[in-house]
Amino acid sequence: MIGIGLQDEKDISVKGLEAVKKCSKVYLEGYTSLLSVGVDELSKFYGKKIIVAGRDMAEQGMEKIVQEAKSDDVAFLVIGDVFSATTHISMMIEARRRKVPVEVVHNASVLTAVGVTGLELYKFGKVTSIPFDNDNVEEPVKVLEMNMKNRLHTLFLLDLKPDENKFMTSAEAAEYLISKGADAGLRAVACAKLGSKEQVIKVRKLGEMINIKIAKFPQCLIVPAKNLHFVEEEALEAWR
């Protein structure tokens, strides 16, 4: 299980690349993020044919992938870092249950790349996700309230369907949060395509974020706690 980083074919570590080259089969998850390059570029750089696994293949086809790894070296590539999605924890458990040895090669994840905003990573509270279909979803706002109360930053992961080129925007996320009662005056930080050269970061009030257009994807949204350290304040001011 190999994290391949957030931007392009060259973000894989030397250790990760060596492992890929030794594998007879290479899968790439296609549901947690989007690289700046296509599968062909990866394939050319790694010197391997790549099978793109949608969420269904990774979840329902997990047993098959693990079974293949019983007799052959199989690489499962994850954009960003390996354990940033529950599916991949299940995959490791399934492999261990079947006594298939798993080697993990870590990389950078959006969960740490948000550090570029200047907000201190150890002051983030529970991370929450906003799904596309969110009329009856209350959890993200409850998490926001709880984190605010505990003086912690909130990271909202925004739904995506890369195979359909469908990505939730920070504006849509802000609109959803306000519709569920979040204070439009709260400060928010929109992050798009973190870890790449095309990265965009914008700091606005939640109410203003609704009108912000960022045409880079994927995106996530942060609502910082109110009690910022002066260095965090400086960093946010610089991004403004």
Ligand X SMILES: C[S@@+](CC[C@H](N)C(=O)[O-])C[C@H]1O[C@@H](n2cnc3c(N)ncnc32)[C@H](O)[C@@H]1O
Terminal C-alpha separation, the chain: 38
Under the binding rule (CB under 6 A), the answer on residue 134 touching ligand X is no
Q: What does each C-alpha distance from 140 to 112, 144, 210, 213, 219 come to in angstroms?
A: 20, 6, 17, 22, 16
Under the binding rule (CB under 6 A), the answer on residue 220 touching ligand X is yes
Under the binding rule (CB under 6 A), the answer on residue 154 touching ligand X is no
Under the binding rule (CB under 6 A), the answer on residue 12 touching ligand X is no
- Given a contact cutoff of 8 angstroms between Cβ atoms, the answer to whether 110 and 6 are in contact is yes
Under the binding rule (CB under 6 A), the answer on residue 32 touching ligand X is yes
Nearer of residues 122 and 230 to ligand X, judged by Cβ? 122
In whole angstroms, what is the distance from residue 240 CA to residue 237 CA?
Answer: 5
Instruction: Write each residue from 42 to 81 as x if it is in contact with ligand X (CB under 6 A), else as -, in one continuous string.
Output: ------------------------------------xxxx
Number of residues interacting with ligand X: please give it, by CB under 6 A. Answer: 23
Nearer of residues 46 and 83 to ligand X, judged by Cβ? 83
Using CB under 6 A, list all residues that contact ligand X: 6, 32-33, 78-81, 84-85, 109-111, 157-158, 160, 191-195, 218-220
